[in-house]
Structure 1
Amino acid sequence: MNPARLTGPPMRLKLGGEILPMVGHVRMYVCGITPYDVSHLGHASTYVWADAVERVLRWHGHHVTVARNVTDVDEALFAEARRRGESHTMLATLQRAAFEGTMAALQVRPPDLAPSAAQHIGHVVQLAQALLDRDSAYERNGTVYARTAHSAAQAGVDRDAALRLATEYRDHPDDPDKDDPLDVTVWQAADPDDDVSWPSPWGDGRPGWHAECAAMVLALFGSSVDIHCGGGDLAYPHHASEAALAESATGVTPFARSWMRAGIVSVDGAKMAKSTGNLVLVEDLLKEHSPGAIRLMLLNRPWSQPWSFDAAALDDAEATLEQLYAAASSPGMAPGAAAVPATLLDDLDVPRAVHIALEDGGQAARTLIEILALT
């Protein structure tokens, strides 16, 4: 935190088109990885944008606490571990280390808090009990379901689309024990052949995905956060269900004062994902391009809009970065030195800030490079 920066005009961050007033401490939660496979450019986009807003806030004198979780209790992780013949804890540890190395290479600051789902099993149990106590959940055959059908409409998703997404994200809308297909699992009863489970008042089992994040946020930050970050593809069902669980348990709304969901990355018209086989790995890009150029390519665009990766964009980013370095080497305190940080407060308008930095040079360019860690 830089208290000297608090003596000027008040900082007014606009995020998602709305002013987000803040005083002093800012609480940020970032949806982290499920550590069962390599991290790709789509992941990097989310975490670089979260890093950017954190750096902007810190530059303007705010104390920011960032929590970025690891979803190390997940069926995809368990299945991949069984396929490899490894323990899920070893696989998660190795993949987490690889991810953190990639983030360090991209100069993404380590989070202040790095909770894992496995560390917060007890908090998921507490969340489930709180929901049961408020009649916002019900228990059937050892599984606790939360009444979350309303979250789709609140997220602006019609029921048909919600059912399709619930199926895609393995929320099992066809589960006959549910009162409503769009209710989500808070605590999942263990099957006889499950090799990973924990005890609970309702029998052995494990937490549901949405409940994991809700419980971690509540345990770390209390009833709400200021900024909740994640990928654009997590809006429904994950973020909507997470918020519904937390708000139903605590009675406090909103769960997140602001949502920052980075635009989905596509390649040749298809969302970047393991299932489509179109992954672009950051470790491969780093063999030929600088971390600063990769960061600039990810940031030099509206943060919430979907975009398509093109290798030529990296060459363009390298060229722009060289121009920024050249501009930064010129002396002087041009008006843009103040305009750059002000522009970044306006919904993280990096393209306009880059334009100002290149046009004014000197301190304006140096300020942009410093704030966005384009080195």
Structure 2
Amino acid sequence: MRSVNPSRLTGPPMRLRLGATTLPMVGHVRMYVCGITPYDVTHLGHAATYIWADAAERVLRWHGHAVTVARNVTDVDDVLFAEARRRGESHTMLATLQRAAFEGTMATLQVRPPDFAPSAAQHIGHVIQLAAALLDQDAAYERNGAVYARTAHAAGQFGVGRGDALTLAAEYHDDPDDPDKDDPLDVIVWKACRPDDEVSWPSPWGDGRPGWHAECAAMVLALFGPSVDIHCGGGDLAFPHHASEAALAEAATGVTPFARSWMRAGVVTIDGVKMSKSRGDLVLVEDLLREHSPGAVRLLCLNRPWAADWAYEPSALDEAEATLEQLYAAAARPGMAPGAAAVPGALLDDLDVPRAVAMALEDGGQAARTLIELLALS
């Protein structure tokens, strides 16, 4: 847990607004960030999510709160295994190399390292405990060596209609056509081992491995207990991942809500469509950093509403670089204008970076210096 600045804990209670949720904070803040599946290089969509999570942490710390951050690594995943086979590498070696590259990119972008970096492979035992707890609560059932959770209700709780939920479940490989399911929207907690599986662990129900949603739920419960204050991730993870994760944790513990707030960064698009490896249109962070500063990449991601999807265009990065130079010039001006105190307040109001940038540019001096320091734009 990182240090606290007690001088900023005086005065009225701090309230952070994230979308429609206003969060009074008292002392310690628990933040969980959905991390990478380490099978490929970091693209701009990844970076935007982690830069926004980092910004939220920095705002909380600026106002005197101790923040504990966990950012997981999904190193038990069929996509990872398939990529390792394609490359002729072990999945553990591929995951290790890609994780190291990702962490190097995050360091260059001044994203603070998390307090905890759990991996799915390290928490197999906790997934087994989660499955057992769900079975004890009759919130899950066992079929042919697999454990399925009763999660059909989760879509409605997250505002997703059944038709859309079935489409998304298929898109995210939740296998709604699995004949062993009581309901197509039930999710797998423990996946039974197939004859050709190269990765499995023993369990009370037979050899197998965890389901994706269960991995995150188990890691949160193991690290933070039954709830977190802020749960971060990409905007495309609301359903089925976040909805299922919350449903699993709440059914196992009886504690609601699983997350006091959800912070899902908007999806980055190219020509109106989410970037994807299959379309070959990924914007790689390492390419951007060859020609632009880390501060410009951070500002490109931050100088917009955090929850809104946005389209990447190369000219936008040039504009971010120019705005950053204007902020540096404004910071060089002397003075202690009213904006110096208003900038952190603007960021408490739904992380309103555009408003904070406008204040910093107008007032200059300490206001601009505060913004640059707070958002790590130097």
1:324 to 297, 308, 327: 327
* 8 Å Cα contact 2:275-2:281 kept in structure 1: yes
User: With structure 1 as the length reference, what TM-score do the two structures score?
Assistant: 0.99
Matched, 1:366 2:341: no
Matched, 1:284 2:287: yes
Q: CA deviation at 1:22?
A: 1.2
* 8 Å Cα contact 2:39-2:94 kept in structure 1: yes
Measure the CA separation in 2 of the matches of 1:148 and 1:7: 43
The aligned runs of 1:129-148 (5 Å cut-off) are 129-148=132-151
Measure the CA separation in 1 of the matches of 2:171 and 2:317: 32
CA-to-partner distance for each residue in 1:77-131, whole Å, 9 max, x for gaps?
A: 0011111111100000000000001101100000000000000000000000000
* 8 Å Cα contact 1:270-1:276 kept in structure 2: no
Q: CA deviation at 1:38?
A: 1.2
The aligned runs of 1:170-185 (5 Å cut-off) are 170-185=173-188
CA-to-partner distance for each residue in 1:53-99, whole Å, 9 max, x for gaps?
A: 00000000000000000000000000111111111000000000000
- Single out whichever of 134-143 and 268-277 deviates more from structure 2: 268-277
Aligned to 2:154: 151
Measure the CA separation in 1 of the matches of 2:133 and 2:154: 18
Q: What's the Cα RMSD here?
A: 0.6
Matched, 1:243 2:227: no
2:355 to 342, 352, 365: 352
Measure the CA separation in 2 of the matches of 1:211 and 1:18: 26
Aligned to 1:41: 44
Matched, 1:126 2:129: yes
* 8 Å Cα contact 2:139-2:149 kept in structure 1: yes
Measure the CA separation in 2 of the matches of 1:11 and 1:359: 26
Measure the CA separation in 2 of the matches of 1:43 and 1:371: 21
2:205 to 202, 206, 215: 202
What 5-or-longer segments of structure 1 have no aligned partner? Answer: none
Measure the CA separation in 1 of the matches of 2:41 and 2:323: 29
User: With structure 2 as the length reference, what TM-score do the two structures score?
Assistant: 0.99
- Single out whichever of 14-23 and 354-363 deviates more from structure 2: 14-23
Report the 3-state secondary structure (helix = DSSP H, G, I; strand = E; otherwise coil) of the residue aligned with 2:68: strand
Q: Supply the AA of the counterpart residue of 1:161.
A: D
Aligned to 1:162: 165
Matched, 1:19 2:43: no
What 5-or-longer segments of structure 2 have no aligned partner? Answer: none
* 8 Å Cα contact 2:346-2:352 kept in structure 1: yes
* 8 Å Cα contact 1:13-1:21 kept in structure 2: yes
Aligned to 1:81: 84
Aligned to 1:256: 259
Aligned to 1:297: 300
